[in-house]
Amino acid sequence: MTSTKTVAIAVPLEAELVDQIRAVDPSVTVLHQPELLPPERFPADHAGDPAFQRTEEQEERYWAMLNSAEVLYGFPNENPAGLARIARENARLQWVHAMAAGAGGAVKASGLDQDILQKFKITTSAGVHALPLAEFAAMGILNGFKRTAELAQDQAARNWPSLRVPTRLVNGSSLVVSGLGEIGLETARIASALGMKVSGTKRSVGPIDGIERVVDNAELPALLATADAVVNTLPGTAYTEKLFNRGMFAAMKPGTIFVNVGRGTVVDEDALLEALDNGQVGYACLDVFAIEPLPQDSPLWNHPRVMVSPHTSALSAAENRLITERFCSNLRTFLDGGDLPHLVDTVHFY
Protein backbone atom coordinates (compact mmCIF):
# COMPACT_ATOMS: atom_id res chain seq x y z
CA MET A 1 0.00 0.00 0.00
CA THR A 2 3.07 2.23 -0.12
CA SER A 3 2.63 5.44 -2.08
CA THR A 4 4.88 8.44 -2.57
CA LYS A 5 4.91 10.62 0.53
CA THR A 6 6.84 13.68 1.63
CA VAL A 7 8.06 14.05 5.20
CA ALA A 8 9.24 17.44 6.46
CA ILE A 9 11.51 17.74 9.49
CA ALA A 10 10.06 20.65 11.45
CA VAL A 11 12.39 20.56 14.48
CA PRO A 12 16.15 20.21 15.03
CA LEU A 13 17.43 16.71 14.28
CA GLU A 14 20.84 15.21 13.64
CA ALA A 15 21.68 14.44 10.00
CA GLU A 16 22.33 10.76 10.67
CA LEU A 17 18.85 10.39 12.17
CA VAL A 18 17.31 12.15 9.16
CA ASP A 19 19.09 9.56 7.01
CA GLN A 20 17.54 6.83 9.15
CA ILE A 21 14.09 8.21 8.26
CA ARG A 22 15.04 8.32 4.57
CA ALA A 23 16.03 4.65 4.76
CA VAL A 24 12.52 3.54 5.75
CA ASP A 25 11.29 3.44 2.14
CA PRO A 26 12.68 4.70 -1.19
CA SER A 27 9.26 6.17 -2.04
CA VAL A 28 9.56 8.71 0.79
CA THR A 29 11.00 12.16 0.17
CA VAL A 30 12.41 13.66 3.37
CA LEU A 31 12.79 17.44 3.44
CA HIS A 32 15.41 18.66 5.90
CA GLN A 33 16.92 22.13 5.78
CA PRO A 34 18.98 22.47 8.97
CA GLU A 35 19.74 26.15 8.31
CA LEU A 36 16.03 26.85 8.84
CA LEU A 37 15.98 25.14 12.25
CA PRO A 38 17.30 26.54 15.54
CA PRO A 39 20.47 24.86 16.85
CA GLU A 40 20.10 22.48 19.77
CA ARG A 41 21.48 23.68 23.09
CA PHE A 42 21.56 20.13 24.44
CA PRO A 43 20.62 16.65 23.14
CA ALA A 44 16.94 16.46 22.15
CA ASP A 45 16.41 20.21 22.46
CA HIS A 46 13.39 20.13 20.16
CA ALA A 47 12.61 23.83 20.46
CA GLY A 48 16.24 24.82 19.91
CA ASP A 49 17.96 28.04 20.86
CA PRO A 50 15.31 30.72 21.54
CA ALA A 51 17.73 33.38 20.28
CA PHE A 52 17.56 31.88 16.78
CA GLN A 53 15.67 33.94 14.22
CA ARG A 54 14.98 33.26 10.56
CA THR A 55 15.27 35.96 7.98
CA GLU A 56 12.12 36.84 6.10
CA GLU A 57 13.32 34.71 3.20
CA GLN A 58 14.12 31.78 5.50
CA GLU A 59 10.70 32.06 7.16
CA GLU A 60 9.02 31.74 3.77
CA ARG A 61 11.17 28.73 2.90
CA TYR A 62 10.41 27.05 6.22
CA TRP A 63 6.65 27.27 5.80
CA ALA A 64 6.82 26.38 2.11
CA MET A 65 8.72 23.22 3.05
CA LEU A 66 6.16 22.25 5.70
CA ASN A 67 3.21 23.01 3.46
CA SER A 68 4.58 20.70 0.76
CA ALA A 69 4.54 17.63 3.02
CA GLU A 70 1.90 15.09 4.00
CA VAL A 71 3.83 14.16 7.15
CA LEU A 72 5.60 16.33 9.72
CA TYR A 73 8.27 15.25 12.17
CA GLY A 74 7.55 17.62 15.06
CA PHE A 75 5.22 20.58 15.52
CA PRO A 76 6.24 23.65 13.50
CA ASN A 77 8.39 25.81 15.76
CA GLU A 78 7.63 23.18 18.42
CA ASN A 79 4.63 25.08 19.75
CA PRO A 80 0.80 25.05 19.59
CA ALA A 81 0.69 28.14 17.36
CA GLY A 82 2.83 26.36 14.79
CA LEU A 83 0.50 23.37 14.81
CA ALA A 84 -2.51 25.65 14.41
CA ARG A 85 -0.98 27.43 11.42
CA ILE A 86 0.10 24.30 9.54
CA ALA A 87 -3.28 22.64 10.15
CA ARG A 88 -5.04 25.59 8.56
CA GLU A 89 -2.60 26.14 5.68
CA ASN A 90 -1.63 22.62 4.60
CA ALA A 91 -4.60 20.95 2.91
CA ARG A 92 -2.53 17.83 2.15
CA LEU A 93 -1.47 17.23 5.77
CA GLN A 94 -2.17 13.66 6.91
CA TRP A 95 -0.04 13.07 9.99
CA VAL A 96 2.03 15.01 12.52
CA HIS A 97 4.33 13.24 14.96
CA ALA A 98 4.87 15.07 18.26
CA MET A 99 8.13 14.95 20.18
CA ALA A 100 6.33 14.88 23.54
CA ALA A 101 4.72 11.87 25.17
CA GLY A 102 1.92 14.06 26.50
CA ALA A 103 1.18 16.18 23.44
CA GLY A 104 -2.51 16.49 24.17
CA GLY A 105 -2.07 19.73 26.10
CA ALA A 106 -0.30 21.38 23.18
CA VAL A 107 -2.98 20.17 20.76
CA LYS A 108 -5.67 21.63 23.02
CA ALA A 109 -3.72 24.89 23.30
CA SER A 110 -3.63 25.16 19.49
CA GLY A 111 -7.31 26.09 19.61
CA LEU A 112 -8.11 24.00 16.54
CA ASP A 113 -11.73 22.92 16.23
CA GLN A 114 -12.78 19.33 15.75
CA ASP A 115 -13.49 19.76 12.04
CA ILE A 116 -9.84 20.59 11.41
CA LEU A 117 -8.45 18.08 13.91
CA GLN A 118 -10.30 15.24 12.19
CA LYS A 119 -8.52 15.92 8.90
CA PHE A 120 -5.15 14.57 10.04
CA LYS A 121 -3.65 12.34 12.74
CA ILE A 122 -1.37 13.37 15.57
CA THR A 123 0.83 10.78 17.24
CA THR A 124 2.95 11.17 20.34
CA SER A 125 6.29 9.81 21.44
CA ALA A 126 4.65 7.96 24.34
CA GLY A 127 6.84 5.16 25.62
CA VAL A 128 10.09 6.73 24.47
CA HIS A 129 10.35 8.53 27.79
CA ALA A 130 9.19 5.62 29.94
CA LEU A 131 12.64 4.49 31.07
CA PRO A 132 14.10 7.88 32.11
CA LEU A 133 10.84 8.79 33.85
CA ALA A 134 10.77 5.44 35.65
CA GLU A 135 14.40 5.87 36.71
CA PHE A 136 13.55 9.34 38.04
CA ALA A 137 10.58 7.90 39.95
CA ALA A 138 12.86 5.24 41.45
CA MET A 139 15.26 7.99 42.50
CA GLY A 140 12.40 9.84 44.20
CA ILE A 141 11.34 6.73 46.08
CA LEU A 142 14.90 6.05 47.21
CA ASN A 143 15.41 9.69 48.20
CA GLY A 144 12.39 9.49 50.45
CA PHE A 145 13.24 6.16 52.01
CA LYS A 146 16.90 7.07 52.55
CA ARG A 147 16.29 10.60 53.87
CA THR A 148 18.54 12.31 51.33
CA ALA A 149 16.85 15.70 51.86
CA GLU A 150 17.81 15.61 55.53
CA LEU A 151 21.32 14.44 54.69
CA ALA A 152 21.73 17.38 52.30
CA GLN A 153 20.54 19.81 54.98
CA ASP A 154 22.96 18.40 57.53
CA GLN A 155 25.79 18.53 55.02
CA ALA A 156 25.03 22.17 54.14
CA ALA A 157 25.05 23.02 57.86
CA ARG A 158 28.15 20.86 58.51
CA ASN A 159 26.07 19.12 61.12
CA TRP A 160 27.02 15.62 62.31
CA PRO A 161 23.92 14.48 64.26
CA SER A 162 24.60 12.99 67.68
CA LEU A 163 21.68 10.60 67.15
CA ARG A 164 21.95 8.17 64.25
CA VAL A 165 18.52 7.89 62.57
CA PRO A 166 17.73 4.67 60.67
CA THR A 167 16.40 4.72 57.12
CA ARG A 168 13.55 2.67 55.68
CA LEU A 169 13.95 -0.44 53.55
CA VAL A 170 12.56 -0.22 50.03
CA ASN A 171 12.61 -3.99 49.75
CA GLY A 172 9.30 -5.40 50.94
CA SER A 173 7.53 -2.04 50.88
CA SER A 174 4.38 -1.27 48.89
CA LEU A 175 4.16 1.02 45.85
CA VAL A 176 0.99 2.33 44.23
CA VAL A 177 1.34 3.59 40.66
CA SER A 178 -1.42 5.91 39.55
CA GLY A 179 -1.64 5.16 35.83
CA LEU A 180 -0.33 1.78 34.68
CA GLY A 181 0.50 2.83 31.13
CA GLU A 182 3.94 2.50 29.57
CA ILE A 183 5.59 4.83 32.10
CA GLY A 184 3.74 3.24 35.00
CA LEU A 185 4.62 -0.29 33.95
CA GLU A 186 8.29 0.61 33.51
CA THR A 187 8.22 2.18 36.97
CA ALA A 188 6.63 -1.01 38.29
CA ARG A 189 9.35 -3.12 36.67
CA ILE A 190 12.15 -1.15 38.34
CA ALA A 191 10.31 -1.05 41.67
CA SER A 192 9.79 -4.81 41.54
CA ALA A 193 13.51 -5.28 40.93
CA LEU A 194 14.07 -3.32 44.17
CA GLY A 195 11.81 -5.78 45.96
CA MET A 196 8.69 -3.61 46.14
CA LYS A 197 5.14 -4.95 45.97
CA VAL A 198 3.36 -2.97 43.25
CA SER A 199 -0.31 -2.18 42.75
CA GLY A 200 -1.90 0.55 40.67
CA THR A 201 -4.72 2.05 38.67
CA LYS A 202 -5.86 1.73 35.09
CA ARG A 203 -9.01 2.86 33.28
CA SER A 204 -9.65 -0.68 32.03
CA VAL A 205 -9.26 -2.87 35.07
CA GLY A 206 -7.78 -6.30 34.48
CA PRO A 207 -4.91 -8.51 35.65
CA ILE A 208 -1.35 -7.41 34.74
CA ASP A 209 1.66 -9.67 35.22
CA GLY A 210 3.76 -8.55 38.16
CA ILE A 211 1.08 -6.20 39.54
CA GLU A 212 -0.64 -7.32 42.73
CA ARG A 213 -3.86 -5.29 42.39
CA VAL A 214 -5.29 -3.23 39.54
CA VAL A 215 -8.19 -0.86 40.31
CA ASP A 216 -9.79 2.22 38.78
CA ASN A 217 -9.65 5.72 40.26
CA ALA A 218 -12.83 5.15 42.26
CA GLU A 219 -10.96 2.57 44.35
CA LEU A 220 -7.74 4.56 44.55
CA PRO A 221 -8.24 5.84 48.15
CA ALA A 222 -8.44 2.29 49.50
CA LEU A 223 -5.32 1.37 47.56
CA LEU A 224 -3.45 4.44 48.83
CA ALA A 225 -4.04 3.29 52.39
CA THR A 226 -1.72 0.33 51.70
CA ALA A 227 1.08 2.34 50.09
CA ASP A 228 4.50 3.26 51.42
CA ALA A 229 5.17 5.18 48.19
CA VAL A 230 2.95 6.58 45.44
CA VAL A 231 4.00 7.47 41.90
CA ASN A 232 1.67 9.44 39.64
CA THR A 233 2.11 9.05 35.87
CA LEU A 234 -1.34 10.24 34.80
CA PRO A 235 -1.80 12.84 32.04
CA GLY A 236 -3.62 16.09 32.61
CA THR A 237 -7.26 15.78 31.56
CA ALA A 238 -10.63 16.97 32.83
CA TYR A 239 -10.98 13.58 34.54
CA THR A 240 -7.63 13.74 36.35
CA GLU A 241 -7.54 17.42 37.37
CA LYS A 242 -6.69 17.63 41.08
CA LEU A 243 -7.26 13.90 41.47
CA PHE A 244 -4.75 14.01 44.30
CA ASN A 245 -6.74 16.29 46.58
CA ARG A 246 -7.07 16.54 50.37
CA GLY A 247 -9.13 13.38 50.48
CA MET A 248 -6.56 11.37 48.56
CA PHE A 249 -3.67 12.57 50.70
CA ALA A 250 -5.70 11.91 53.86
CA ALA A 251 -6.19 8.32 52.68
CA MET A 252 -2.42 7.74 52.71
CA LYS A 253 -0.42 6.38 55.60
CA PRO A 254 1.63 8.96 57.51
CA GLY A 255 5.05 9.37 55.91
CA THR A 256 4.10 8.17 52.43
CA ILE A 257 6.57 9.09 49.68
CA PHE A 258 4.94 10.90 46.75
CA VAL A 259 6.44 11.22 43.25
CA ASN A 260 4.83 13.02 40.31
CA VAL A 261 6.10 12.41 36.77
CA GLY A 262 2.67 12.74 35.11
CA ARG A 263 1.20 16.22 34.91
CA GLY A 264 1.10 18.92 37.55
CA THR A 265 -2.63 19.52 37.16
CA VAL A 266 -3.31 16.06 38.59
CA VAL A 267 -2.22 17.33 42.02
CA ASP A 268 -3.87 19.95 44.23
CA GLU A 269 -0.63 21.64 45.32
CA ASP A 270 -2.24 23.33 48.33
CA ALA A 271 -3.44 19.94 49.53
CA LEU A 272 0.03 18.46 48.93
CA LEU A 273 1.65 21.19 51.01
CA GLU A 274 -0.81 20.52 53.83
CA ALA A 275 -0.02 16.81 53.62
CA LEU A 276 3.70 17.54 53.76
CA ASP A 277 3.25 19.82 56.77
CA ASN A 278 1.05 17.38 58.70
CA GLY A 279 3.23 14.38 57.89
CA GLN A 280 0.86 12.42 55.66
CA VAL A 281 3.46 12.85 52.92
CA GLY A 282 6.99 12.31 54.19
CA TYR A 283 8.75 13.45 51.03
CA ALA A 284 7.67 14.65 47.59
CA CYS A 285 9.72 14.41 44.41
CA LEU A 286 8.07 16.57 41.75
CA ASP A 287 8.99 16.98 38.09
CA VAL A 288 5.74 18.67 37.02
CA PHE A 289 3.60 21.47 38.39
CA ALA A 290 0.19 23.05 37.87
CA ILE A 291 1.90 26.22 36.56
CA GLU A 292 5.23 25.97 34.75
CA PRO A 293 7.74 27.42 35.29
CA LEU A 294 6.97 27.02 38.97
CA PRO A 295 6.14 30.52 40.30
CA GLN A 296 8.90 32.12 42.33
CA ASP A 297 6.59 32.51 45.33
CA SER A 298 5.57 28.84 45.45
CA PRO A 299 6.26 27.32 48.90
CA LEU A 300 7.38 24.14 47.12
CA TRP A 301 10.73 25.76 46.24
CA ASN A 302 11.85 25.99 49.86
CA HIS A 303 10.04 23.11 51.48
CA PRO A 304 12.60 20.97 53.33
CA ARG A 305 11.04 17.69 52.14
CA VAL A 306 10.44 18.52 48.49
CA MET A 307 12.63 18.03 45.46
CA VAL A 308 11.76 20.37 42.58
CA SER A 309 12.78 19.23 39.11
CA PRO A 310 12.08 21.63 36.19
CA HIS A 311 10.10 19.16 34.06
CA THR A 312 13.31 17.56 32.78
CA SER A 313 13.09 14.00 34.08
CA ALA A 314 12.09 12.59 30.68
CA LEU A 315 15.18 14.00 28.98
CA SER A 316 18.10 11.80 28.05
CA ALA A 317 20.97 11.92 25.60
CA ALA A 318 19.35 9.03 23.72
CA GLU A 319 15.99 10.78 23.24
CA ASN A 320 16.37 11.90 19.62
CA ARG A 321 17.48 8.43 18.58
CA LEU A 322 14.61 6.76 20.40
CA ILE A 323 12.01 9.16 18.99
CA THR A 324 13.40 8.68 15.49
CA GLU A 325 13.22 4.91 15.87
CA ARG A 326 9.61 5.25 17.03
CA PHE A 327 8.81 7.56 14.11
CA CYS A 328 10.43 5.19 11.59
CA SER A 329 8.35 2.31 12.89
CA ASN A 330 5.23 4.46 12.66
CA LEU A 331 6.17 5.63 9.18
CA ARG A 332 6.40 2.04 8.00
CA THR A 333 2.96 1.38 9.47
CA PHE A 334 1.60 4.56 7.87
CA LEU A 335 2.97 3.65 4.43
CA ASP A 336 1.50 0.15 4.71
CA GLY A 337 -1.94 1.51 5.58
CA GLY A 338 -1.91 0.29 9.17
CA ASP A 339 -3.26 1.93 12.31
CA LEU A 340 -0.88 4.40 13.91
CA PRO A 341 -0.20 3.86 17.64
CA HIS A 342 -0.26 6.52 20.35
CA LEU A 343 -2.78 8.80 18.68
CA VAL A 344 -3.74 11.97 20.53
CA ASP A 345 -7.34 11.83 21.73
CA THR A 346 -8.64 15.11 20.34
CA VAL A 347 -11.70 15.02 22.61
CA HIS A 348 -9.99 14.51 25.98
CA PHE A 349 -6.55 15.71 24.78
CA TYR A 350 -4.17 13.04 26.01
Contact 291, 267 (CB under 8 A): no
**Residue 279 DSSP SS3:** coil
The catalytic position among 22, 54, 168, 311 is 311
Give pairs for 317-323: CB < 8 Å, separation 24+. Answer: 317/43, 317/44, 318/43, 319/43, 319/44, 319/128, 319/129, 319/132, 320/13, 320/14, 320/17, 320/43, 320/44, 321/17, 322/125, 322/128, 323/44, 323/99, 323/125, 323/128
Cβ atoms of 259 and 230 within 8 Å: the answer is yes
CA atoms within 13 A on the CB side of 110: 26
Contacts of 24 (CB under 8 A, 6+ apart): 328, 331, 332, 335
CB-CB contact of 75 with 46 (8 Å)? no
Amino acid at 281: V
- Going by C-alpha positions, the residue among 134, 242, 113, 127 that lies closest to residue 186 is 134
Catalytic residue among 263, 303, 326, 342: 263
Backbone angles phi, psi at 257, to 5 degrees: -85, 135
311 is an active site residue: yes
DSSP symbols for 73-114? ES-GGGSHHHHHHHHHH-TT--EEE-SSS-THHHHHHTT--H
Residues comprising the chain, all counted: 350
Contact 305, 277 (CB under 8 A): no
Catalytic residue ranges = 263, 311
